[in-house]
């Protein structure tokens, strides 16, 4: 593939595509690589430092009867939980189900 685009190495390809102003002047200071086993142990040890606290989520909730316009446009609005935008045809199908 490199030969097809006219370069001899990945470094040469990067040199031709990435502006020099964005290139680092020195090598990254990275730790030594770990095996999968070492990494899982490392992450597990970090996780052991977490502290469990009492959750107060849901405290003070009272049953309510919200207006359907609030339910549809706030609670069920996909824009709150996804970047997916449905097409008009899909929206029309949803409206049809409500009838």
The yes-or-no verdict on residue 17 having pLDDT over 70 is yes
The pLDDT score that the predictor gives to residue 59 is 72
The pLDDT score that the predictor gives to residue 97 is 54
The pLDDT score that the predictor gives to residue 66 is 83
The pLDDT score that the predictor gives to residue 32 is 93
The yes-or-no verdict on residue 98 having pLDDT over 60 is no
Distance CA 55, CA 81 (A): 22
Distance CA 77, CA 70 (A): 9
Question: Six-digit token pair at 86?
Answer: 């449905």
pLDDT tens track for 38-95: 999 999 999 999 998 887 777 776 677 888 888 888 878 777 777 666 566 655 555 5
Burial class (CB in 10 A: 0-12, 13-18, 19+), 7: middle
Distance CA 73, CA 79 (A): 9
């Amino acid at each position: 593939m490199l030969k097809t685009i006219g370069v001899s190495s990945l470094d040469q390809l990067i040199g031709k595509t990435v502006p020099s102003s964005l290139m680092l002047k020195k090598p990254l200071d990275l730790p030594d690589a770990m095996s999968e086993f070492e990494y899982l142990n490392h992450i597990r040890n970090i996780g052991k430092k977490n502290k469990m606290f009492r959750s107060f989520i849901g405290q003070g909730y009272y049953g309510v009867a919200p207006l359907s316009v609030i339910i549809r446009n706030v609670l069920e609005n996909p824009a709150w939980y996804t970047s997916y935008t449905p097409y008009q045809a899909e929206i029309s199908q949803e409206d049809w189900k409500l009838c």
